[in-house]
Structure 1
Amino acid sequence: MYKIAVLGDYDSIYGFGAIGMDTFPVTDPEEGIKTLRVLAKSEYEIIYVTEGLAVQINHEINKYKEMLSPAIILIPGVFGNTGEGVAGVKASVEQAVGSDILFS
């Protein structure tokens, strides 16, 4: 069975554990890179990463963009939000349905 992980600062991710996701709080970018590598090599098919952490480890996340697995999805956190998570979901939906669903 495949698993879902959430990676980021503790305050942003602790609630995801209540809905059955595995949480991996990190305190600095180097720890985030190491944890992401371990998760990507294991049975995690989806890894959510807070936007604040993603900005700091973007070079590492980019290594997985063209891979089928794991899917790395950015989510807003308590702080450090950039809007990239929403923009990424919007782009994926546009690609899937062929139009802008938000009509911005």
Structure 2
Amino acid sequence: MYKIAVMGDVASVLGFKALGLDVYPVAGPEEGHETLHRLARENYAIIYMTEQLAAKLTTDIARYKDALTPAIILIPGKEGPLGIGMANIKTAVERAVGADIL
């Protein structure tokens, strides 16, 4: 059975635990790198990650870009949105549709 995880700083991800998601607070990019690859090996189908952490793990995230699992979805952290998640959605829509419809 596939699972869902949330990665990021403690303040941004702790609330997701109340929803029943597996929460992985990470302190920095080194810990984020190790956690991301471990979750990918452990049958996590969806990994929500704060944009602040994702900005530091671009090469790691790119490794899973075309893979079926895990789907890495960026969410705003406690500092607010950086626009990375929306830019990724826009790029994915352009690839799927062939034009910018957003």
TM-score, normalised to structure 1, is 0.85
Structure 2: gaps spanning 5 or more residues = none
Name 2:60's counterpart in structure 1.
60
Name 1:100's counterpart in structure 2.
101
Contact 1:75 1:86 in 2 (8 A): no
Matched length: 101
Distance 2:13 2:67 in 1: 24
Q: CA RMSD in A?
A: 1.9
Identity value in percent: 51
- Aligned to 1:56, the other structure's residue is in SS state coil
Q: 1:23-66, CA deviations, whole angstroms, 9 ceiling, x for partnerless residues?
A: 00000100000000100001100001100000011111111101
| Aligned residue identity for 2:30 | E
Distance 1:41 1:4 in 2: 13
Name 1:24's counterpart in structure 2.
24
| Aligned residue identity for 1:11 | A
Distance 2:61 2:28 in 1: 15
Structure 1: gaps spanning 5 or more residues = none
TM-score, normalised to structure 2, is 0.87
Name 2:11's counterpart in structure 1.
11
Distance 2:55 2:81 in 1: 9
| Aligned residue identity for 1:100 | I
| Aligned residue identity for 2:16 | F
- Aligned to 2:67, the other structure's residue is in SS state coil
Contact 2:90 2:100 in 1 (8 A): no
| Aligned residue identity for 2:69 | S
- Aligned to 1:82, the other structure's residue is in SS state coil
